[in-house]
Chain A
Amino acid sequence: MNINLKQGCLLIMSAYIVISSSFYFIAKEQLAYSLVSKEMSTSEQLLPLGEIVEGMTVVQPFILNADNLESISLYTATYDRMNVGQLTVQIIDLSAKLVLREKDFDLTSIPNSGLLKFNLENPIQDVNGKMLAIKLTSNGEKGNAVTVWQKNNLSQGQALLINGYETDKILCFSLIGRSVSWVGQYYFYVALLVGFILGIYLWHLILAEKKGRICLGLRVIDAFTKYRFLLSQLITRDFKTKYRRSVLGILWSFLNPLLTMTVQYVVFSTLFKTDISNFPVYLLIGIVFFSFFLESTSMSLMSIVGNANLITKVYMPKYIYPVSRVLSSSINFLLSMIPLLIVVIFTKTPFTLAYLLLPFIIVCLVAFCIGMGMLLSSAMVYFRDTQFIWSVLSMLWMYSTPIFYPVSIIPEKFILLYKINPLYHFIDFSRVVIMQGVSPEPQAYVICASYALIMLVIGGLIFNATQNGFVMHI
């Protein structure tokens, strides 16, 4: 199929219009509101507050910087017994001394060392900056009451009040609210603006081609059409030889992630109790995404050194080698999406339109891996230690990415380390899409895309700067 530049540009333009408008319908709600949550961290030592008996009041003030408050969660305990009575949870406005919402929980329904969730059917509006509080009372008696977990007030938050007296503790709780986001308000204009810029650039390309000028965009298109066949040949070669002489062949692409998931599922659901809901899907998403990263980077690591006999004898652009390796493992990656789909169906996770957002994160991850692969393959040429360093480093990377554990067990002081881990963002993005069936927050798109772009640019620049020396060092 051969298309000329004009047709290609028209195709890109219409694809942009379709994508940007359908994206609006899929992610409407997440564009209009952004979720604001105040998570509690359970990594520090937790202490029981003591039985909440009749006459005792527990008040935890808080301020939520969001437009409304939708739900609160408390970490409760029952002393592992059946208690009879009620726990009353109130949300009060401290300055106006008003009870905003109230709910009675039957003590028998309260989880032991688990989360008690209070979803407000009618969210409290205009909470931004206001001093609110959670107030707990109960009609339980001694020996027949529940408790909540608290911890030391290290972060100097609003202190917990018991019977009106301030303590040096803070309650274990989390809040979820929403804010109106500017992205939703201006989405139409932003999309229009981007479309306009895209249109101008494509117009510029067409003009440049007509006048025979050379610019970056044309060079990229030219290189792509020139080396497309070579790239497709190298990819099929990698893919064909991967499972050649194995009995099950391509089936391994499906079996591998499934078996890894089964092993880890058994280990982590029996040895380490986790309270992640829908753990098989949670786990499999992490495994599929991370093993693609591992496979593609370790394959492209060897791509220059391993093709030494070719590089010294035939001229072709050297970036073809790492790029083809990453692309051939992304075929494998796409195949391993099938077992993921099977597990999704099996666990009755609902399908939504949000699944259409997955190609975005796949493209980001592939671009990130290409950048990483370029960096590693050129480092490998100069220092053969790279392969050993990388095997250790990638293991460290694996354990520091929440693949089989929840983000909530991470101590607060390491949270920054997680926030700068690109793989965490990629995996988190796909978990939100697959498990919650909604689009992630607008900033998640920006974060993922910029990580991918930054890595691609860094890898490309280093590769470009070093590639002339490859022939001398391999």
Chain B
Amino acid sequence: MINVENVSMRFFITQDKIQSLKEYAIKFLTRQIKYQEFWALKDISFEVNKGEVVGIIGRNGAGKSTLLKVISGILRPTIGSSVCKGNIVPMLELGSGFDHDLTGRENIFLNGAILGYTKKFLEDKYEEILEFSELGRFIEVPLRNYSSGMLMRLAFSIATVVNPEILIVDEILAVGDANFQEKSKARMLELMSGGTTVLFVSHNLEEIRSMCNTVIWLDSGLIKMIGDAKEVCNAYSI
């Protein structure tokens, strides 16, 4: 399903980001351009089979989010390749495609299109999204008048309306008030247990232990350990 082969990701870090031609020219002439190479991922290889739930753990800056971005196609690896078969729904950050001048209804279609849903699908699932988000009549109000809880509820409802073949999650999203948190968590668990291939990053070891088959432990860009969930979690928590 997902095949990651020898993926390495290099970033160039300059002391200050050169954003203008003048700066570039000056720095170039005075030979001040010093790139520092930074390898966010180093030679990562693994395979995920259909229906597997894979957890990714590691400290901040270990390369977890970079890995998810490489797999979802946002970043292209410097070396190596990552191949996914099936439609991916990346839930890296919810609601990034929202336009705050449009109404909730218009945003369902806009954001849905950005996530790659078809028009027919969105028309069929519109009622479901509306119901799940509990927005009611606010759906016809421009997004700039929404509270942040309402925004997150709408975003979550749009993102999870599909049953994707591959789900990529950066931290389990529990949004809104206690009631909605309960509901959203239940929805996430439902998605994960429904035969979907899941890749998810979490700092909550309990969650990882209870849900994952396999866990990958990343440490400064390298795979430190990969294997059975319990073993890796035990090793990590020491």
User: Footprint of B on A, CB under 8 Å?
Assistant: 229-230, 232-234, 236-237, 240-241, 244-245, 309-316, 383-385, 468, 471-472
Contact = CB atoms under 8 A, between A and B. Distances in A.
Interface in B92-117: 92-93, 96-97, 99, 101-102, 106, 109-110, 113-116
Contacts of B29: none
A237 B96 contact: no
B35 to A, nearest CB: 12
B236 interface: no
Given A233-B110, A309-B96, A384-B19, A315 B72 contact: yes
A237 B20 contact: no
Contacts of B86: none
B185 interface: no
B11 interface: yes
Contacts of A232: 113
22 contacts: A230-B113, A234-B110, A236-B106, A237-B99, A237-B110, A241-B99, A309-B96, A311-B74, A313-B92, A313-B96, A314-B90, A314-B92, A314-B97, A314-B115, A315-B72, A315-B88, A384-B19, A384-B20, A468-B76, A471-B69, A471-B75, A472-B12
Contact of A315 (B24, B90, B99): B90
A313 B72 CA distance: 9
Contacts of B235: none
Nearest to A308: B96
Nearest to A469: B76
Interface string B106-148: 1001100111101100000000000000000000000000000
Given A240-B101, A384-B19, A385-B22, A233 B75 contact: no
Nearest to B74: A315
A244 B119 CA distance: 24
B11 A313 contact: no
A400 to B, nearest CB: 23
Point out which of A234, A237, A314, A316 has the most chain B C-beta atoms below 10 A from its C-beta: A314
A383 B90 contact: no
A310 B74 contact: no
B119 A313 contact: no
B147 to A, nearest CB: 20
Given A313-B74, A313-B96, 16 more contacts: A229-B119, A230-B114, A234-B113, A240-B101, A241-B99, A241-B101, A241-B102, A245-B101, A313-B93, A314-B90, A314-B96, A315-B73, A315-B74, A316-B116, A471-B69, A472-B11
Contact of B102 (A237, A313, A315): A237
Contacts of B238: none
Instruction: Count chain B CB atoms within 10 A of each CB in A232, A240, A311 and give the residue with the most.
Output: A240
Nearest to B88: A315
Contacts of A309: 96
Contacts of A312: 69, 74
B21 interface: yes
Contacts of A311: 74
Contacts of B96: 309-310, 313-314
A456 to B, nearest CB: 24
A46 to B, nearest CB: 45
A383 B119 contact: no
A233 B106 CA distance: 9
A190 to B, nearest CB: 41
Contacts of B12: 472
Contact of B21 (A230, A237, A385, A472): A385
Nearest to B78: A468
Contacts of A237: 99, 102, 106, 110
Nearest to A226: B116
B193 to A, nearest CB: 25
Given A230-B114, A233-B113, A383-B24, A471 B74 contact: yes
Interface in B49-78: 69, 72-76
Contact of A316 (B21, B22, B93, B114): B114
Contacts of A384: 19-20
Residue of A233, A245, A316, A472 contacting most chain B CB atoms (<10 Å) = A233
B97 A310 contact: yes
Contacts of B88: 315
Contact of A229 (B21, B69, B74, B113): B113
Contacts of B76: 468
A245 B106 CA distance: 16
Interface string B1-45: 000000000011000000111101000000000000000000000
Nearest to B107: A237
Nearest to A228: B119
Contact of B114 (A244, A245, A314, A385): A314
Most chain A CB atoms below 10 A, which of B20, B75, B97, B116: B97
Given A237-B110, A314-B74, A315-B73, A385 B119 contact: no
The listed residue with most B CB atoms (<10 A of its CB), out of A245, A315, A383, A384, is: A315
Lowest 5 A-B CB distances belong to which pairs?
A: A315-B73, A233-B113, A230-B113, A313-B96, A241-B101
B80 to A, nearest CB: 14
Nearest to B103: A240
A238 B192 CA distance: 36
Nearest to B72: A315
B36 to A, nearest CB: 14
Nearest to A231: B113
Contacts of B114: 230, 233, 310, 314, 316
A311 B74 CA distance: 7
Nearest to A471: B75
A468 B78 CA distance: 10
Given A229-B119, A314-B114, A472-B12, A383 B109 contact: no
A313 to B, nearest CB: 4
A169 B73 CA distance: 71
A230 to B, nearest CB: 4
Contacts of A383: 19-21, 24
Contact of A233 (B20, B24, B109): B109
Nearest to A381: B19
Contact of B118 (A229, A245, A314): A229
A76 to B, nearest CB: 54
Contacts of A230: 113-114, 116
B134 to A, nearest CB: 24
